Amino acid sequence: DTGVSQDPRHKITKRGQNVTFRCDPISEHNRLYWYRQTLGQGPEFLTYFQNEAQLEKSRLLSDRFSAERPKGSFSTLEIQRTEQGDSAMYLCASSLGGLETQYFGPGTRLLVL
């Protein structure tokens, strides 16, 4: 399978803990995107990278959130001091370029107790 992969698929954590998610894009895709989807809503943009550079961040991305793409391939999204409001599906997508279609991974579902 050469699609976008995400790990883990599910994560349950206690409030206050840190969590880290990983996304592996389709190979040779230089753009990588993170979105968050809460129950009953459409995905909301968080941030995106072109290669290693983080080009845009949403106001939704508070200072507890940090995303990296150190070698321009996989990316990690870390949430520090998780809150119950962080419970959501975190979706990753990749594209070949800015005008190209974004292909989504299966998502990581986070539940903060």
Total number of residues shown for the chain: 113
The residue among 50 and 80 lying less far from other proteins, judged by its C-beta, is 50
Q: What are phi and psi of 67, to 5 degrees?
A: -125, 145
Contact 44, 35 (CB under 8 A): yes
Q: Helix-strand-coil percent breakdown of the chain, rounded to 5?
A: 5, 50, 50
* Distance of alpha carbon 95 from alpha carbon 32, whole angstroms: 7
CB of 60 vs other proteins, minimal distance in Å:
11
Interacting positions 71-90 with other proteins (CB under 8 A): none
* 25 near other proteins, judged by CB under 8 A: no
Among 33, 69, 79, 112, indicate the residue that binds other proteins (CB under 8 A): 33
Give me the residues that bind other proteins (CB under 8 A), please: 4, 6, 31, 33, 35, 40-45, 48, 55-56, 58, 91, 93, 95, 98-99, 101-107, 109
